[in-house]
Amino acid sequence: MSVCEFNNNHAWVAFKRLSSEVTTLCSDFKFPGRGQKNTPVCTLDTIITIMQHLPGPIAAKNREKTAETMRRYFA
């Protein structure tokens, strides 16, 4: 799932520029298999925080959908 205007890698680069405090909560994981690269991974709570900080219209749509889901869940 892409949460930024281009792709997930662009989102990660954009986010690292915005907030180093949250990126410190992430770590690298290398999935098994040939040719795999380190992939940033983090907890669900950290992912939600990251989504709240990303710029752009696609990230805004994701924030709206998250808020909508929370309204339905808590209503």
Model confidence at 71: pLDDT above 50: yes
- Indicate the residue type of 1: M
What pLDDT sits at residue 43?
84
What pLDDT sits at residue 34?
93
pTM of the model: 0.53
What pLDDT sits at residue 1?
47
